Amino acid sequence: MVRIGHAVLGEKGTKICVPIVGTTMKEILDATAVACNTPCHVVELRIDYYERAHSIDAIIELLMLIKPQLKGRALLFTWRTKGEGGEKSISTHDYFTMLERLIPTGLVDAIDIELFFDQDRMLKTIEFAKVHGVTIVMSNHDFHGTPSHEVIVNRLIQMKDFLADVPKMAVMPHTTGDVLTLLEATAEVKALYPSDPIITMAMGPLGAVTRTAGALFGNAMTFASAGKASAPGQIDVHELKRILDTIDVDGVFDKQQHKRVKVH
């Protein structure tokens, strides 16, 4: 069982996360208030949008103001780097120093750590997070295309090997075949780890089906917008909730449900 705050991933349907992408404190607090009046389970603070993101003290001050607004919802803290579609660059040292300052504060329920960072430094931070009960979402984003089936599977498994609680991968499809590649890779990894949550999505208009029906293939959480989107193809949170109420599945599977069976 993996939790982000009170949200149990992989049980009782797909969880909805709404990203907050304001640049000023007021914009962020206003957007958080809006998000917390929607049917989302998790709020993601995309701190790389914040104008004072390079000050850890400013981040902590902001988080202290956000915490009372959450109304019991979980907070996922994310600095998306420039190389993976984010707004600001950050050094490896500053990235992990920031996360290690935040982990013991009790102000974040989960942190996002990108896969392609210094492995020794990353493992140290993951161990520190686990001591403090902070969930690790390990991520990789390709805003240009869709890697092969094998690459997607291998990256998600690599995240598991790094002891991530929730592997996450997002790709940019250019064909319907790319969408199928992402979904098939998701199902394969879910078959290997049937009790563990994973998050995958294909971005843009072609990928909308992965945001709405991804749980059928093993996806545990989907991202929706409540105003400004943080990635191409995010659906309005209220519209997404209506879709999920119609087609969502529980998200808990055994191995056989994710295996391809050949019929002769």
- Binding site annotation covers 44? yes
DSSP for residue 72: T
Q: Which two tokens stand for residue 105?
A: 């504060």
Cβ neighbour number for residue 227 with a 10 Å cutoff: 17
Report d(CA 77, CA 129) in Å as an integer.
Answer: 13
Q: Which of 15, 141, 241, 258 is catalytic?
A: 141
Q: Which two tokens stand for residue 128?
A: 């520190």
Give the contacts of 25 (CB within 8 A, at least 6 positions apart).
50, 52, 62, 65
In the residue annotation, 82 being an active-site residue is answered as no
**CB crowding 129-139: b at 16 or more within 10 Å, else e:** beeeebbbbbb
- Binding site annotation covers 260? no
Q: Which two tokens stand for residue 195?
A: 């009790």
C-alpha closest to that of 167 among 198, 127, 213, 136: 198
Q: Which of 26, 71, 149, 168 is catalytic?
A: 168
Tokens 């914040």, located at residue: 50
Report d(CA 254, CA 239) in Å as an integer.
Answer: 30
In the residue annotation, 141 being an active-site residue is answered as yes
- Binding site annotation covers 211? yes
Burial of 225 (C-beta count, 10 Å sphere; 0-12/13-18/19+): buried
- Binding site annotation covers 45? yes
The residues annotated as belonging to the active site are: 141, 168
* Binding site as annotated, residues: 44-46, 80, 211, 230, 234
Q: Annotated binding site for 3-dehydroquinate, which residues? A: 44-46, 80, 211, 230, 234
